[in-house]
A = this chain, B = another copy of it.
Amino acid sequence: MSNTFGNLFRITTWGESHGDAIGVVVDGCPPLIPLSEEDIQLDLDRRKPGQSEISTQRKEDDKVIIESGVFEGKTLGTPIHLVVRNSDMKSKDYNHMKNLFRPSHADYTYQAKYGIRNWKGGGRASARETIGRVAGGAIAKKILKDHFGIEILSYVKQIYNIKADIIPEHVVKSDIDSNIVRCPDKEIAEKMIDHIKLIRKNGDSLGGIIEAIVRNVPAGLGEPVFGKIDAELARAMLSLPACKGFEIGSGFSSANMTGSEHNDEFYNDNGIIRTKTNNSGGVQGGISNGENIIIRAAFKPTATIMSSQKTVNDEGKPVEMQGRGRHDPCVLPRAVPLVDAMIALVLVDYALIQKTK
């Protein structure tokens, strides 16, 4: 529990936003997987700050180093340690936060739980914590792709009230990365980008929805009744900073449906049993049915905003705080590789365990 995720393929992450470094131990990775720092860097670059005009301007290279578990370009089956050094640590930036609880941040809850917190930039509750997940997830993605042919594609579906019109089955990776907001609907992407720029000027922030499609999932992954694949995906998504909701397939819209509308009819597609509709989102009874897995995760707007806000300090006295420095008006474009990573971490575990049956 706590800072370890997974059963057979496990990541254990460590690091605070303003400490020396952020890292992850990947344990249980099968041996003989070709692995280089480049394989991992690609995903970290999609997550790193300062990558476009609509993300935070914090300057971090986020260069990953493999410190163990790989020998002559291949995994050994022993723990793989990946580390990213923090470079843009400016403690002075944060002295004004030392004694107050920023609204909708985790300052207060960490203080309430532990009686202490690293008040420099969010500490462990900072989104920098997710570097370890993306790094570990990159290895998981590679195994899924190379050994099982599974492809995971996450993308921005909605920013604020701007909703893209996307048929998940049609999405290709190049469309996602064709624009800085990572929305495959290029027209809507422009509107999203414009609105993020506008809101950044206002010093405010925006929420949105990320959707993901997972292709080529074999039927049979998932471990009911508590290790259902949809349950673990929900847990994985809600473990992400700012995530407030999860759905699979028909999701919340299923509430408004009748059984005769919702049921997915089985048919025989040249020897493969498939469903005509996919309200199930690729999972039935907690086990993959071979259809695409389709999920959505809702993200609240970033808590850090530039306008003045009322709050209390650590003595319980009312104070007014003024945002300053850099802020990230919308985390969703950078969260896309993170959603990919978490899905990969969930699936690789199920794919490995299914080999034991």
A residues with a Cβ closer than 8 A to B are 1-5, 7-8, 10, 12-16, 19-23, 25, 27-28, 30-32, 65, 67-69, 71, 74-81, 101, 103-106, 108-110, 112-118, 123-125, 129, 158, 160-161, 199, 204-209, 219-228, 230-239, 241, 243-252, 254-268, 271, 273, 275, 279-281, 283-290, 298-305, 307, 309-312, 316-318, 352-357
Q: Are B299 and A255 in touch, CB under 8 angstroms? A: yes
Q: Are B357 and A356 in touch, CB under 8 angstroms? A: no
Q: Are B234 and A298 in touch, CB under 8 angstroms? A: no
Q: Are B248 and A245 in touch, CB under 8 angstroms? A: yes
Which of A5, A7, A206, A245 has the most C-beta atoms of chain B within 10 angstroms of its own C-beta? A245
Q: Are A19 and B67 in touch, CB under 8 angstroms? A: yes
Query: In the complex, what's the smallest C-beta–C-beta distance from A165 to chain B, in angstroms?
Result: 16
Contact of A301 among B207, B241, B259 (CB under 8 A): B259
Q: Are B13 and A79 in touch, CB under 8 angstroms? A: yes
Each complex incorporates copies of this chain amounting to 4
* Residues of chain B within 8 A of A161, CB atoms compared: 256
* Residues of chain B within 8 A of A69, CB atoms compared: 14, 16
* CA–CA, A265 and B20, complex, Å: 32
Answer whether A124 and B76 are a contact pair too, CB < 8 Å, given A31-B114, A114-B31, A238-B246. Answer: yes
* Residues of chain B within 8 A of A317, CB atoms compared: 268
Q: Are A129 and B300 in touch, CB under 8 angstroms? A: no
Q: Are A15 and B259 in touch, CB under 8 angstroms? A: no
